Structure 1
Amino acid sequence: SPAARSGIVAELERLLAAEEIRAAASAEPTPYADELVQRLHATGHALAVTTNNTAGAAEAYLERRGLAELFRPHVHGRVTEPWLLKPDPDCLHRALRSTGHDAAMALMIGDSSADLLAARAAGVRFLGYARD
């Protein structure tokens, strides 16, 4: 039944979110990322997170790094509609709305082709990086 499927989906989302939050407890930052974020904030740039993970996992990671206040309330995570995950630009559109900034003035820093495609679709400049 649709109600049973809905309950199963909700339970799977709850379990996935819990695992993502647990993984955030041991996630390591990209070298110099903390310093970059702090410098951007100190020079007046609005900061936002856009992730295909749950917003709670991103918030837990930022809290552990002492960076949460630099991003609040602009942490945009996975929504219930899977077709709105990156590379769809939905999360970037939500970030732009929440910060009140225009896409032409924004820069997305990302590490995946999905990030690049989302930025292009949103009309946002993109800076890619690789961990290794």
Structure 2
Amino acid sequence: MKPAVFLDRDGVINVDVGYPHRIKDFEFIAHAPQAIARINASGRLAVVVTNQSGIARGLYEEADAEAFNAHIQEQLRPWGAHIDAFYLCPYHPDATVARYRADHPDRKPRPGMIERAIRDLGIDRAASFLIGDRTTDIQAAQAAGMPGYLFTGTDLDAFIRPLLLSSRAESLNM
């Protein structure tokens, strides 16, 4: 089993411009590629868990979100960084697109995406944590039985560096 760092996407990895889905609007949060490279180098999986209610609202399609995720992956390559898996939730209870209208267990603050990733990827829950920019992200982490850290800054690498060091020290003391 491997430890993981779960990351929300919009507002943590990329600048949240309001339902980001167009590649032309993509911009990394400061030092996000370095932070993800640091996660990769630490031996942890980097897993994105993201609510994408813009799909449920009819603003864009799942294919657009997947293309945006592929663009993120491509932009990480020059930094020697990568995301191990992307999980997205296109559902919303008030969706305008009927097939996405659901109070789905994957929608944060519920832990469905995290739980699926743990099963799919063989993740060590006790050695993992989540970084998000909303309280719903932190609630999802807590519901999955792991710490969640609220990113409110502007430099992801500066934020994650002490968390990785602290998490490593804790796992060595177990």
Structure 2 residue identity aligned to 1:33: A
Alignment of 1:121 with 2:143, yes or no, is yes
Closer/same/farther in 2, CA of residues 102 and 30 from structure 1, 3 Å limit: same
Gaps of 5+ in 1: 1-18
Task: Name the one with the larger helix percent.
Answer: 1
CA RMSD of aligned residues (A): 2.5
AA matched with 1:70: H
Q: Within 5 A, what are the aligned runs for 1:47-58?
A: 47-53=46-52, 54=62, 56=66, 57-58=68-69
Contact kept, 8 Å, 1:96 with 1:102, in 2: the verdict is yes
Q: Tell me how many residue pairs correspond in the alignment.
A: 112
Instruction: Indicate the residue corresponding to 2:72 in structure 1.
Output: 61
1:45 aligned onto 2:67: no
Residues 69-117 of structure 1: CA deviation (Å, up to 9, x unaligned): 7224x11011554423111111111222222113211110111111011
Q: Which has the higher contact order (CA 8 A, sep 6+)?
A: 2
SS at match of 2:104: helix
Q: Give the TM-score taking structure 1 as reference length.
A: 0.70
The runs of 5 or more residues in structure 2 that have no matched partner are: 1-18, 53-61, 91-99, 155-174
Higher strand residue share:
2
What percent of counterpart residues are identical?
26
1:71 equivalent in structure 2? 83
Q: Name the counterpart of 2:121.
A: 99
The answer to whether the 8 Å contact 1:109/1:128 transfers is yes
- For residue 15 of structure 2, what is the aligned residue in structure 1? none
Whole-Å separation in 2 of the counterparts to 1:112 and 1:58: 20
Amino acid at match of 1:83: H
Query: 1:6 aligns to what?
Result: none
Q: Counterpart of 1:71 in 2: which secondary structure?
A: coil
One-letter amino acid of the counterpart of residue 52, structure 1 = N
